[in-house]
Structure 1
Amino acid sequence: MFKHLKNDFPAAVVVFFVAIPLCLGIALASGAPLFSGLIAGIVGGIVVGAISGSSLGVSGPAAGLTAIVLAAITTLGGYENLLVAVVLGGVIQLLFGVLRAGIIGYYFPSSVIKGMLTGIGIIIILKQIPHFFGYDADPEGDWSFFQVDGENTFSELGNIVGNISPGATLIACIGMGILILWESVLSKKGKIFKLIQGPLVAVAAGIIYYLVTQGSESLGIEAAHLVSVPVPQNFDDFIRQFTFPNFSIIGQPAVWVTAFTLALVASLETLLCVEATDKLDPRKRTTPTNRELFAQGTGNIISGLIGGLPVTQVIVRSSANIQSGGQTKMAAILHGFLLLISVILVPNILNLIPLSVLAAILFLVGYKLAKPATFKRMFSLGWKQWVPFMITVLGIVFTDLLIGISMGLAVGIVVILIKNYQNSHFLHIRDEKETGIKVVKMTLAEEVTFINKGAILKELDKLEPNSYLEIDVCKTRYLDHDIIEILDDFRFRAKDKNINVKIISERGTVENPESYEAFFKEVKIEEYRTTG
């Protein structure tokens, strides 16, 4: 874990700066105390990071859970009651891990995962444009297209006009210039430029700019455009920021419903982020998903017990970690400790960071996720990859993360069904020279299900009278009972049309069988069997 510290620490610093406004913004959008978002970030970094088997994934409060948390606080009658559901949700996640439910994430097509990454990249850029220009009326955590303040992603961009802050915009442009220069030029000039990362320099420049221009009406930055971390006056004040769950309501059905909802959504979002993070990993390491569920469950139990929001693995922070050169999970753990230390020791310094500089950092993260080259490559792979990819991207941009992924998955399943329908069988037609009889050989696929009923029935109906049908099932290992029924029904029509039928299998052949079902059972091709 300490072998790559020279890479992990700079990456942890970048993730730390990205995490602060996200933790606070998600807490604000969730209707929870601001400190609860920081608690979730700390627990997600230190606790989940230590237990998880993910090398590059970073956990913390998730924008995808804001709507659930916001509604649950009202439904359950307060934030203390919600914390009970967070703890129970963590216990349910532990159970998911024991039941090995982590495999679910691998059932999502690659095109959908790539669409998720690209969609999130576009969302990051769109959501940070207002902050880049110093318009910070909307919280960073409001990541859905339709926002809690009645606006949407694009109408929020229109609100920038007339609300641009010259000072915030200027330092954002300076910060962007530093980031581009650092990555494209300086990082190749010497080791010092690799050790000290561009985002850290950009943040330092932002703090210096704010202090130098204080009091300037034209170029100064107002306090509303800075990071806002709670500042305790003493130790007792710090302790009072923690909220503890009200376990007296644990018997209420609504608490358990909320807990199961949080566990299910948080687990799904985590598993999708794990899959996406593994794809972004330059070393292509594989995260043990059941262990990840166990880590997330432990994190949610601890976060709920001390007043934090529910946590998941989060692609924004994970991708920032990867793009900044993180190598091991030490980067995630260090980012958690940096959050903890900053909240205790230097909250006043954090409150000097302009949000526009952080927006510039996230701009580059978003661009790396949604490069034009990605669209070009997916289009070149054909419509079966392009359509689910684009549906996922558009769904995420115009709805939210989970709905967009669900839309992409649904389209992916439709594509599979279409190809399955098309590939149920293969036909070879020949005319016997000696007899003049047309012989139609139908070779069934390895798996033939009810989806293929229409295609097979269509071919059987097209057979001409006095022809000869050979049905080859040598390679078939699964034959749905629906298909067997079709063949049994066809037996009567075949007699009327004087069509002779021959079935060819690994264990023998039969001419004009009296019962197709009996024959298939005899040769061990049965419904739900895989013996051959």
Structure 2
Amino acid sequence: MFKTIKKDLPASIVVFFVALPLCLGIALASGAPLFSGLIAGIVGGIVVGALSGSNIGVSGPAAGLAAIVLTAIGTLGGYQNFLVAVVIGGVIQLIFGVLKAGVIGYYFPSSVIKGMLTGIGIIIILKQIPHFFGYDAEPEGADSFFEASGENTFSAIFHVFENITVGSTIIGVVGLAILILWDRVLTKKAKIFQLIQGPLVAVILGIIFYSVTQSNEALAISQSHLVSVPVPEDAASFMAQFSFPNFAVITNTDVWIVAFTIALVASLETLLCVEATDKLDPHKNVTPTNRELLAQGTGNIISGLIGGLPITQVIVRSSANIQSGGESKMSAIIHGFFLLISVILIPRLLNMIPLSVLAAILLVVGYKLAKPKLFKQMYDLGWKQSIPFTVTVLGIVFIDLLYGIGLGLLVGIVVILLKSYQNSHFLHIEDKSNGKHKIKMSLAEEVTFFNKGAILKELDSLPRDTYLEIDLLKTRYLDNDIIEILEDFLFKAKERNIDIKLTSKRGIVENPESFVEFFRTRPQSSLSLN
């Protein structure tokens, strides 16, 4: 891990600046103490980063859980009661990992994963536009179309023009220009520009701009447009920010329901993120999903015990890590230490960072996730890829992340069923002889109940006086449902004067009396039956 420190250290700085406002914003959106988001970010970086098998994944509080957390805190009667559910949720995730439930992550279609990345990129851009211009009605980290402030994603953008903050806009534009210049030009000129990241320079300039313009009415940036980290006065007040679970409510049924909900949603979001980050990884490493569930479960137990929000692997931070050149888990771990050290030593300095500068960093991250050329690539792959991709993107933008993925997955399954329906068999007419149609139906390698409709349709459409050859030589699995269809067809075949020849690795038979008996009594072969 330490061999790649030259790349991991600069990447960790970028991830730190991306994670800081998101940790605070998600805590605010969740109705939890601000410091709870930072705890989750620290634990996600240090603990989960160390235990995870992912080289480039970064964990922390997730926007997808904010609504669940907000509701659960009220339902369970307070934040300390809610923390019990977080701890139990972590234990359930450990059980998921032991039971090897991580295999679920491999069953999400590529088109849905690409749609997830693109949708998140678009939503990052749309959600950061108001912050870029100094309109901060909605906290950082929101990903739902309908916002807690009463706005929606697009109405918030429209209202930007009535609420532009001049100072925030100026330093936001300057920060964005620096990031583009750094990425497109300077990093190719000298190694120093690869070591010192553009986001760090943009943030430093943002702090300087804030300090210099404080006394200028036109350019001054108010506290509401800056990062807002809790500032403890001494060690005692710092420690007072930690909360601890009230285990007296552990027998409450609602606590266990919330715990299972957190475990399930956090695990699914993590597995999706793992799939997505593995696709983005330039080295194409494959993350062990069961180990990831164990790491996440451990992280949630620790986070819940000391007052933190639930943790998942998060695509925004992970993609920022990848785009900044992070190569090992050290970048995630170091970013966690940066969060810890900064909230202890320099909270006042952090509170001088304009949100518009951090919005500029996220705009670049969003663009790299949702590059326009990707839409053309997906279109060129055909409707089977482009439709689930598009539905996922639209669902994420107009509802939220989990709904978007769910809709994309549903459409992906429908596409698979349609293709399965179409590909169950090949049917062609060979010739006409002796007054009979000679038709050969060759079944595919695997024929399941999904294919019932297509095969029934073809059998019912056969004309009278047909000679039908059913070729099973390439078929390795024939579902019992299909055997029953063939069995039922024997009666119709006799009525319509249809002769049947059955060819398989179990032998050849003319006009079988029973398909069921044929498959039961013939010697074993590679053909499997239910």
Give the structure-1-normalised TM-score: 0.98
| 1:519 and 2:510 aligned | no
Give the direction of change, closer, same or farther, for the CA distance of 1:225–1:525 in structure 2 (3 Å limit): farther
Post-superposition CA distance 1:121-148 (Å, at most 9, x none): 0000011001000011211132211122
Contact 1:85 1:258 in 2 (8 A): yes
Contact 1:479 1:525 in 2 (8 A): no
- Match of residue 2 from structure 2: 2
Secondary structure in structure 1 of the residue aligned to 2:528:
coil
Q: Within 1, Cα distance between the matches of 2:220 and 2:176? A: 18
Alpha-carbon distance, 1:494 to partner? 1.2
Alpha-carbon distance, 1:297 to partner? 0.3
- Match of residue 108 from structure 2: 108
Secondary structure in structure 1 of the residue aligned to 2:468:
strand
Contact 2:478 2:528 in 1 (8 A): no
Give the direction of change, closer, same or farther, for the CA distance of 1:427–1:283 in structure 2 (3 Å limit): same
Code of the residue aligned with 1:240 in structure 2: it is: A
Alpha-carbon distance, 1:321 to partner? 0.5
Give the direction of change, closer, same or farther, for the CA distance of 1:169–1:103 in structure 2 (3 Å limit): same
Give the direction of change, closer, same or farther, for the CA distance of 1:495–1:309 in structure 2 (3 Å limit): same
5+ residue gaps, structure 1, are none
Contact 2:8 2:326 in 1 (8 A): yes
Q: Within 2, Cα distance between the matches of 1:518 and 1:525? A: 13
- Match of residue 387 from structure 2: 387
Code of the residue aligned with 1:144 in structure 2: it is: S
Contact 1:8 1:326 in 2 (8 A): yes
Post-superposition CA distance 1:352-400 (Å, at most 9, x none): 1000000000000000000001101111110100000000000000111
Post-superposition CA distance 1:413-445 (Å, at most 9, x none): 000010111111111312355x34321111111
Q: Within 2, Cα distance between the matches of 1:208 and 1:162? A: 27
Alpha-carbon distance, 1:521 to partner? 2.1
Contact 1:28 1:141 in 2 (8 A): no
Code of the residue aligned with 2:11 in structure 1: it is: A
Q: Within 2, Cα distance between the matches of 1:217 and 1:410? A: 53
Give the direction of change, closer, same or farther, for the CA distance of 1:516–1:531 in structure 2 (3 Å limit): closer
- Match of residue 76 from structure 1: 76
Q: Within 2, Cα distance between the matches of 1:265 and 1:144? A: 16
- Match of residue 465 from structure 1: 464
Alpha-carbon distance, 1:162 to partner? 1.6
- Match of residue 146 from structure 2: 146
Aligned pair count? 530
Post-superposition CA distance 1:134-186 (Å, at most 9, x none): 01121113221112222211111122122100110000000011111111111
- Match of residue 345 from structure 1: 345
- Match of residue 165 from structure 1: 165
Contact 1:476 1:525 in 2 (8 A): no
Secondary structure in structure 2 of the residue aligned to 1:510:
strand
Contact 1:524 1:531 in 2 (8 A): no
Secondary structure in structure 2 of the residue aligned to 1:504:
strand
| 1:378 and 2:378 aligned | yes
Code of the residue aligned with 1:512 in structure 2: it is: N
- Match of residue 528 from structure 2: 530
- Match of residue 128 from structure 1: 128
Contact 1:478 1:525 in 2 (8 A): no
Code of the residue aligned with 2:166 in structure 1: it is: P
Q: Within 2, Cα distance between the matches of 1:164 and 1:187? A: 32
Q: How does 1:19-58 map to 2 (within 5 A)?
A: 19-58=19-58
Alpha-carbon distance, 1:520 to partner? 1.9
Alpha-carbon distance, 1:524 to partner? 6.8
Contact 2:478 2:529 in 1 (8 A): no
Secondary structure in structure 1 of the residue aligned to 2:438:
strand
Q: Within 1, Cα distance between the matches of 2:311 and 2:159? A: 32
Q: Within 2, Cα distance between the matches of 1:223 and 1:148? A: 21
Code of the residue aligned with 1:501 in structure 2: it is: I
Q: Within 2, Cα distance between the matches of 1:193 and 1:471? A: 68
- Match of residue 308 from structure 2: 308
- Match of residue 119 from structure 1: 119
Give the direction of change, closer, same or farther, for the CA distance of 1:26–1:457 in structure 2 (3 Å limit): same
Alpha-carbon distance, 1:489 to partner? 1.7
Post-superposition CA distance 1:187-245 (Å, at most 9, x none): 11111111101000000010111111111011121121110000000000001000000
- Match of residue 396 from structure 2: 396
After the TM superposition, which of the residue ranges 277-286 and 461-470 deviates more from structure 2? Answer: 461-470
Post-superposition CA distance 1:7-36 (Å, at most 9, x none): 111110011011110000000000000000
Q: Within 2, Cα distance between the matches of 1:491 and 1:297? A: 56
Contact 2:472 2:504 in 1 (8 A): yes
Code of the residue aligned with 1:452 in structure 2: it is: N
Code of the residue aligned with 1:467 in structure 2: it is: T
- Match of residue 474 from structure 2: 475
Secondary structure in structure 2 of the residue aligned to 1:428:
strand
Q: Within 1, Cα distance between the matches of 2:210 and 2:431? A: 87
- Match of residue 487 from structure 2: 488
After the TM superposition, which of the residue ranges 294-303 and 145-154 deviates more from structure 2? Answer: 145-154
Q: Within 2, Cα distance between the matches of 1:306 and 1:110? A: 37
Q: Within 1, Cα distance between the matches of 2:430 and 2:116? A: 49
Code of the residue aligned with 2:458 in structure 1: it is: E
Contact 1:525 1:531 in 2 (8 A): no
- Match of residue 278 from structure 2: 278
Q: Within 1, Cα distance between the matches of 2:210 and 2:51? A: 39
Q: Within 1, Cα distance between the matches of 2:398 and 2:324? A: 29
| 1:13 and 2:16 aligned | no
- Match of residue 510 from structure 1: 509
Give the structure-2-normalised TM-score: 0.98
After the TM superposition, which of the residue ranges 166-175 and 470-479 deviates more from structure 2? Answer: 470-479
Q: Within 2, Cα distance between the matches of 1:142 and 1:462? A: 55
Query: Among the aligned pairs, what percent are the same residue?
Result: 72
- Match of residue 453 from structure 2: 454
Code of the residue aligned with 1:530 in structure 2: it is: S
Secondary structure in structure 2 of the residue aligned to 1:241:
coil
Q: How does 1:90-239 map to 2 (within 5 A)?
A: 90-239=90-239
- Match of residue 427 from structure 1: 427
- Match of residue 63 from structure 1: 63
Q: Within 2, Cα distance between the matches of 1:359 and 1:3? A: 32
After the TM superposition, which of the residue ranges 229-238 and 457-466 deviates more from structure 2? Answer: 457-466
